[in-house]
Chain A
Amino acid sequence: MSSTSQSVLFDAPGPKAKRRILIFNILGILLAVALIVYLLLALNAKDQLNPVRWLVFTEGSVWSNYLLPGLINTLKAAAISIVTSLLFGFIFGMGRLAQNKLINAISSVIVEFFRAVPVLLMMLFLWIMLARSGLVPPADSPFIAVVIGLTLYNGSVVAELIRSGVHGLPKGQREAGIAIGLTRGQSLRLIEVPQALTAMLPALISQFIVILKDSALGYIINFNELLFNGKLVGTGNSNTLQALVVVALVFIILNFGLSKLAEVVSSRLSSRVGIAAPAKEEVEAEV
């Protein structure tokens, strides 16, 4: 994708254009250097470059007591949410494809509602109400609220992915299923949805990034995940800036790995015959 967009706007440059590009390139580098120097000076003015503030993160105890338990909670919430979102998405994706008008309507309302409502609102609601209801131990309610909130939103997105994946399949697939005597539901389950899932796999993996990122919303409802514990480290050692940077780096590395995985899967799939993934932006922006 990027290679085509880069070759669209300019030719292989001639001698004059080469010189101009070189000049602007150097200007760009100088500007970037100036920006970095400015940031470093600003940080230094507030004593934020002091090694003491950074070296805290080389201590094993900070990791073993705060960051790793936080990371494990983040990953636990994300992993469970990924599984439950797929389940939710499968059920309601099938529901939206069902011929029964009532099932179809109910699934549509649920999917559209949970896609339109901010995840944080669901988490706040579940957190407070679950803790009050006594259905779960109050200490567990942040974790459960995060998982259910992530499941309702991302599950609805997965349902849409499955639906658009099935719509993107050639009509012959369904017709062949019906021709060998399968019911509509059997043909969906056995023939269409598996292919749709394969075609949508890159988009699904991108959605896992959203789940991982949104698990940080748990910070707001006192779920002791990575950001929450990172902030504790920051408050305790008066190095909030450094703590947030370290936490952000961990998230960036994890998400970057996932997006690379999505790219690899996507390029593997594109070499397979007969599977055409619908354009990603038709479905959802992974914001």
Chain B
Amino acid sequence: MEGYLSLWDEYGSRIMESFWANLQLTFWAALASLVLGTILAIMRISPIPSLRAFGAAYVNIIRNTPLTIILTFGVLVLFGVFQLKLTNDFDLNFFQIAIIGLSIYHAAFFCEAIRSGVNTVPLGQAEAARAIGLSFLPAAWLVILPQAFRGAIAPMGNVLIALIKNTTVAIAGSVAEISGLMKTMLEYRADVGVLIFLTVALMFVIVVLPIGALVTWLSKRLAVAR
């Protein structure tokens, strides 16, 4: 117990800072991948063959690539080879590159989640939209997608939860976040190794389980009554 308390004395503020980095990664990557995923979903359901093909190719390639490769690519290639500098702050640069990598990866899954939501919208809705003279984009944006999003809350929530957990992979992108700190703590304080793991694991449980419950509740609450 004393060992555990001294761990908090030593690392307490860094634990909080690191986990905060994971939450920030989650926030920005969720925002960006949701926007990109929506655009991809619109492309995949559009009448234009080239855009459909592009959307399908993006999803099939990215979805089958391990996230670890994408984030490693960010640090070793985007930074290492192309010297990509989004900002002059060295650490912030890796942070932003990791956000790009996480967004590219999760956009493919948001796209598929939204597409599964589109499948919950009855054909009559699209027919009615066309009957009142809406062309593809207005019909999609005003009639189909609002209902599709409401039907896609459960799968989108699952993607969000996966994203929260996947921010730990940002260790492969040289970001100072919680899995990197956990590795450091385990190396220096193996005496309380189990407690270190349980502490960090519990932080994720505390964030993930309520979001899971909220998503289930929302998906029932917002489901379009048919």
Contact = CB atoms under 8 A, between A and B. Distances in A.
Interface of A: 1-2, 4-6, 8-11, 13, 17, 21, 24-26, 28-29, 32, 42, 46, 48, 112-113, 116-122, 124-125, 128-129, 132, 209, 213-217, 219-220, 227, 231, 234, 240-241, 244, 247-248, 251-252, 255-256, 259, 281-282, 284-285, 287
B30 interface: no
* A-B pairs with lowest CB-CB distance, top 3: A287-B162, A28-B50, A216-B66
Given A251-B65, A282-B154, A29 B72 contact: no
A125 B139 contact: no
Contacts of B190: 128-129, 132
A282 B216 CA distance: 10
A125 B193 contact: yes
Contacts of B45: 5-6, 8-9
Given A29-B50, A124-B182, A252-B61, A227 B69 contact: yes
A1 B61 CA distance: 19
Nearest to A253: B64
Contacts of B205: 113, 116-117
A42 B68 CA distance: 23
B64 A9 contact: no
A217 B60 contact: no
Contacts of A124: 179, 182-183, 186
Contacts of A11: 130
Is chain A's interface secondary structure helix, strand, loop, or mixed overall?
Answer: helix
Interface of B: 44-52, 54, 60-61, 63-69, 72-73, 76-77, 80-82, 106, 109, 113, 115-116, 118-119, 121, 123, 126, 130, 136, 139-140, 144, 154-155, 158-159, 162-163, 165-166, 168-169, 171-172, 179, 182-183, 186-187, 190, 193-194, 196-197, 200-201, 204-205, 208-209, 212
Given A9-B126, A128-B186, A244 B76 contact: yes
Contact of A240 (B63, B76, B200): B76
